[in-house]
Structure 1
């Protein structure tokens, strides 16, 4: 009988960044099947769950049990740890003899505390997991060797837990087999979005991020490996978008150009998406990107507050940022590329006025603001220095900031107001976008000063006072399935109510509300913006 292992991926299954075609569990399986001394005795299955559906934990557990596994591996992140822990507990009750293994960033940096709080978990694989997981499986299957000899492993020894020394990082990344080249991922069974990593680590050391944790520099996959994977994906009929998971794709201009030219040669129409550093963009990179079908670009702005950026060890040249993003937007305007400008509110030293300035800066560039609260992720330098900056975060994942010395509770509420108005502004309807621009102009006539961020806050504050909190999100990463016609209706109701009487003139508000309601009966009333995903500068 084979030794049956089920590996559980549990990610948000909605909107952008789904990447169902590849994940850490696929890489772990490929490494295990290539390097395990007992690979011929293994039967490995991958189960993919939706972390947006936590009420399905019981059903998910029964699905896992239907494979009759001897061991279950749970991939743990801040967005799924509650579900994964619940699955572990249910598995233990249903099958007391099963080996339950947890790994991933949410359990790697406080493994002892996690195991104490989750007695159903037998092992925690810390950090980069390919070698540790393989050695552990070999031990479980053969019954030989000692868990104490497996580095980067936490394990139970009777009533106590043990923590083995850390393992060095894998020096030669090419020893990690490619699930793509080994055909260990059925791309026809995915949504067509496939994630690929060509590096591990990051050349930057932002203190809120885990990309450089335990690493002193960047490790890269060899060119032959990268070339083979990119060609295979470009030539595969089921692949719609290749998402490059590299934290800063353009850190090395020559290498980035080589990959981009390869994509153009292999399949110029292939959808691609990247995370870029604006200040690293060059005219050559921008010109080459314009020759491709770039569907999405993520660019980290985070904040324009120099104190906040200094506190998180992030250097930024705002003039270079503005110039390069503008050049990129112009080069990609005919493609319909969505350019996300990532923003974090609540960074140490930042304040609500600084957040408003950052939003206005991003909107002025025409970008789609992808906002997030500061998250004190386990293992980050900033989490270790939280007390220094007076940062108080929720103890439960995803560890969102609750308040700080410069961003108190009251200002976090104001940020929610602004974010709700921003969601209206950025929804794919020209009707709603133009309405909020008109609100801004009304406010300017009344007070002579009103930015787009202020206009968004006015909308959000009115919705909050109207108890329409079902329209609020903490972060862009939350599911947003609110129909455009609903947003139009809510905005019209807000305009005709009394919540804005002391802010905006009644006559123009009522006229705008009438036009909004009339638009709902028109065939194009809910039509997407003519500019595609990239909104014109406001």
Structure 2
């Protein structure tokens, strides 16, 4: 018997944790299993062909809101090609109303909830060792009718088998890991609120398993723990181990900032820069709205801890906001955005409320006049506090923030505009409206155009001269892009004769095979330090990294 453990990930660089758990939890059983990973960007015909070529008896799918519709279509195609291939579903998108999902979709089995033990018993059933109705946590279809077995209690984390193999190639992959399951909080929009309590792996086992990623030189490990720092002793032990590790691997954690204590922040201040990334779910800075979603915390407490982490300057922070929360109107969300923006974290994520199947937020939808898409990912369309058109405006802002702010490649340009608008939101909204007017949302524009758009925006919307802005754009462009072949609209700097003379004077000090020389008409360093624009000729060298060197006037006179 051959079972194909199939994952359709949201991106090529992602790795699927669930199918690896299933494989390794049953590796002692004598059956043929294989993992195949695809992405939602792959053609369905290609996925189908590769699945059929494996000649499986059973195809399992790990199902999420981002892939459920694609999984459903591919399952239909599999059955059309070979009706004898059985299909087993599992994952968060099929764990609520599992029987209904099986009734409405092509397929034979659904695992409800945690899959490891149910999958193991399913294998035993397929091998003739136990009866089908003894597989707890399984729903199955027989002669067109769906049957549901007894529910399965949650397992001990200590029973889990480490999901990765010694010879596994994880190069250029984002690798997922969990040290705990469950969440101590009860946020209404989250599926973690449907189960209570938190289960932890033994901390010594966690440290041993993290060493595996360090030895593999994995680029990024993302902990999937819902609130990693809910147990201070546990999180401290792991952070201390990783701080002292000799590694270039980065580790990403979802944390609740407000519960960080002084001891933890003191420890985190010792972390090498880039070692840790923290994702902080702010969601809203409106304390009344926070209480509506069962988050009994004040934004002022979150802000205090986030700013403490900002002050130690070694941890990248990603702050989340959610639009469409109960009783948060458009003006309140704008205040939330401006509040978070003033903190200046490395990333700001503007998300939109998703009313997940099984969440208490979906059950209360009518109470707040919530209309949402019946199709995955079940995103909010409007509430009694915010309209559809207002949410569409926020989506334009979200795209601008993600492209320009979160990429960190336009910081000097953004700082030029921030003071020209009343609030940060006003800037991004105005930029989003400009994008829409130009039709940029409906076509692919190149990297160079993302810089050039600011010149058009400045001239058409602000009616201002571009002579200073173009210098800032050119400098910002040269930091993050190829130094040779400067775009035509930025070629307003050094003349060839002047360039030749300067290079002759500097040739003993710098190799111009490695450096690109450019001239500017403003004092760039003064602008970087205090946003002051001072007319002054300045010269800089740019290498193939993000570094640059200021040339002293005395060196070229």
Same fold, TM-score > 0.5, yes or no: yes
What is residue 106 of structure 1 aligned with on the other side?
93
| Aligned residue number for residue 108 of structure 2 | 122
Q: 1:407 to 1:46 in 2, by over 3 A?
A: same
CA displacement at 1:482 relative to structure 2: 6.7
Give the SS at the match of 1:33.
coil
Q: 1:514 to 1:175 in 2, by over 3 A?
A: closer
* Gap change, CA 1:338 and 1:482, over 3 Å in 2: farther
What is the CA distance between 1:46 and its match in structure 2? 0.4
Partner Cα separation in structure 2 for residue 238 and residue 254 of structure 1: 27
1:58 to 45, 62, 81: 45
**CA distance in 2 between partners of 1:111 and 1:23 (Å):** 21
Equivalent-residue separation in structure 1 for 2:407 and 2:348 (angstroms):
13
The runs of at least 4 aligned residues of structure 1 exceeding 4 Å deviation read 481-484, 510-520, 525-528
The reply on whether 1:462 has 2:434 as its aligned counterpart is yes
Q: Where does structure 1 lack aligned partners over 5 or more consecutive residues?
A: 444-449, 472-480, 531-535
Q: Does the residue aligned with 2:102 lie in a helix, a strand or coil?
A: helix
Q: Is the 8 A contact 2:416 2:469 kept in 1?
A: no
Q: Quick check: 291-300 or 91-100, which moved more? A: 291-300
- C-alpha distance after superposition, 1:45-104 (max 9, x if no partner): 000111234xx1110111111111111100000011111112211111111111100111
Distance in 2 of aligned mates of 1:43 and 1:63:
17
Q: CA deviation at 1:385?
A: 1.6
How is 1:330-341 mapped onto 2 (pairs within 5 angstroms)? 330-331=311-312, 333=313, 335=314, 337-341=315-319
Whether the 8 Å CA contact 1:13–1:50 is kept in 2: the answer is yes
Cα distance in 2 for residues equivalent to 1:139 and 1:482 = 54
**1:225 aligned residue:** 205
Q: Using structure 1 for the length normalisation, give the TM-score.
A: 0.83
Q: Which residue of 2 aligns with 1:23?
A: 17
- Would the alpha carbon gap of residues 525 and 512 (structure 1) be closer, same or farther in structure 2, given more than 3 Å must change? farther
Identify if the C-alpha distance between structure 1 residues 436 and 192 changes in structure 2 by more than 3 Å, giving closer, same or farther.
closer
Q: Which moved more, 1:145-154 or 1:375-384?
A: 145-154
1:496 aligned onto 2:496: no
Confirm or deny: 8 A CA contact 1:429 1:484 kept in the other structure.
Answer: no
Aligned: 1:149 with 2:134: yes
Aligned to 1:194: 175
Aligned residue in 2 for 1:377: 356
- How many residues are aligned here? 483
Question: Which among 434, 443, 449 is matched to residue 486 of structure 1?
Answer: 449
Q: Are the aligned partners of 2:349 and 2:398 in contact in 1 as well (CA < 8 Å)?
A: no
Mark the runs of 5 or more structure 2 residues left unpaired by the alignment.
484-523, 525-529, 532-557
| 1:209 aligned residue (172, 190, 205) | 190
Decide whether the 8 Å contact of 1:200 with 1:218 is kept in 2. yes
Distance (whole Å) between structure 1 residues aligned to residue 472 and residue 356 of structure 2: 42
1:311 to 281, 287, 292: 292
8 Å contact from structure 1 (residues 208, 375) kept in 2: yes
Higher RCO (CA-CA < 8 Å; seq separation 6+): 1
Mapped to 1, the partners of 2:268 and 2:249 lie a distance apart of 12
- Partner Cα distance (2:468, 2:411) in 1: 12
